[in-house]
Structure 1
Amino acid sequence: MNMTHYMELLAVNQPWNLLIFMAVPVVLAETIAVTELAILFTRNFNGPLRKLNKWCSILVGFYFLVIFVYLFFTAVIPLTSNGEWRGWIDVIAVGFYLLGVIPLLGLSLLDIGIIGRHLSEEGKMKLHATFVGIFLIVAHIAMIFGMLNPHVGGYMNHMKM
């Protein structure tokens, strides 16, 4: 079966790659999203849910930064320099997966006080929710394109003799 490098990464070395590259970041991001809704509805910016939300946000941003650096040097650069991309669908799947570093790192930087210092608690939560929304968009684009067969986008295998 033909698959994108995104799906191949998740499929090999079971279950470790699936846990490292998908389960950990997604569980943390979903925890952030759910606690974010509860915080915004209750307006309790100092309770235990906010503490959980904050620690998950800090952890996921730096965790995903490590994933980004690792995959950039072990996958993106070699695939690009060797011309091994499996068409535009493959590039979109991997590219959008790696773009997740921007909103996730934004969450971390916001919660450790590097960005958004001038904002009120409500303003910080609005920016926080925006980062969560952006992450959900790029992650779902990555997943949708990652599950496509690259042949749908015109990719043809070139077998070497």
Structure 2
Amino acid sequence: MYMTHYMALLADNQPWNLILFMAVPVILAETVAITELFILLGRAYDGALRRINRAASIAAGIYFTGVFIYLMLNAVVPLTQQGLWRGPADWIAVGFYLSGVIPLGGLALLDLNWICRRADVQRRMAIHASLVALFLVVAHVAMVFGMLDPSVLGAMPMAAAHAGH
């Protein structure tokens, strides 16, 4: 099967890449999302759940910033320089995965009180919930396109592409 670089990354070096690039960010983000629901439903803007939510948000933002930098330097730049992208599904999967740094970074900045300092608690929670939702959307787009065979959107495996020349 021909696969995107997103899927290849997760499939390589088992189980470590799957843990580092999928499990850790998803567990942190899901912790934020689940605690966010209880916080918003109960209007419990402080307390143990909010402390867990805040810690997971900060950890996710910092961790994923490291993942973003690592993958930009070790995957995106080399793939681009060597012309090794596997078509639109590949670009979309990797691009959306890496764009997760925006909402996760935003969550960390918000919970570190580096942005929106003057907003009241309800406004901050609305921004927080919006960033959680944005992360869920970009992560799922990345997963869907990452699991897609790149040939479905017209990419050809390298061996087939070179055979035509």
Q: Give TM-score scaled by structure 2 length.
A: 0.96
1:157 aligned residue: 157
What is aligned with 1:131? Answer: 131
For structure 1, the residue ranges without an aligned partner over 5 or more in a row are none
CA deviation map 1:51-93 (0-9, x unaligned): 0000000000010000000000000000001000000110000
* Matches for 1:39-118 after TM superposition, within 5 Å: 39-118=39-118
Letter aligned with residue 107 of structure 2: L
Q: CA deviation at 1:121?
A: 0.9
Partner of 1:23: 23
Q: Distance in 1 between matches of 2:65 and 2:158?
A: 34
Output the CA distance in 1 between the equivalents of 2:2 and 2:129: 36
Q: Percent identity?
A: 57
CA shift, 1:157, in A, is 1.9
Rounded to whole Å, the distance in 2 between the matches of 1:36 and 1:103 is 14
Name segments (4+ residues, structure 1) moved above 3 Å.
none
Deviation at residue 158 of structure 1 after TM alignment: 3.0
Q: Which residue of 1 aligns with 2:8?
A: 8
Equivalent AA in structure 2 for residue 122 of structure 1:
Q
Query: Within 2, Cα distance between the matches of 1:98 and 1:15?
Result: 21
Partner of 2:142: 142
AA in 2 matched with 1:158: M
Q: Which amino acid aligns with 1:29?
A: A
Aligned mates of 1:114, 1:75 — CA distance in 2: 30
